[in-house]
Amino acid sequence: AHSADQAWRKDMPGSPVKDIRSAISLNDRVFFINNLFDEDAQAFVNALSSINAMSTLDEVVAFVTEQYPHWDLNSDIVYRFMMAVRRKVSE
């Protein structure tokens, strides 16, 4: 799919959060660490710290595509992760 077609770019995120960690449930946290971060909890924490310092979705997408080129941006798990991101950053 064309990058602009990704559902997480268009779907309405939940209420805004100041810290992305509060947008991620414990279950999703484990799911993300195991599936997106190769079971490396510290890599997950580091990624969230980086994302917390960003203010736009474009910044996060650039970061994710550079740091995690193996992620399938059309997958359900990346959808869940990016919807959490969108609660933290603006368009």
Model confidence pLDDT, tens digit, residues 59-89: 999 999 999 999 999 999 999 999 999 999 9
At residue 5 the predicted structure's pLDDT band, cuts being 50, 70 and 90, is confident
Q: CA-based diameter of the chain, in Å? A: 32
Beta-carbon contacts of residue 24 (< 8 Å; ≥ 6 apart) = 32, 48, 84
Q: What is the pLDDT of residues 29-63, one digit of tens each?
A: 999 999 999 999 999 999 999 999 999 999 999 99
Report the Cα–Cα distance between both ends of the chain, in Å, rounded. Answer: 20
Cβ–Cβ < 8 Å for 57, 89: yes
pLDDT at 1 over 50: no
Please tell me what DSSP assigns to residue 71.
S
- Distances 19 to 8, 23, 53 between C-alpha atoms, Å: 19, 7, 9
pLDDT at 3 over 80: no
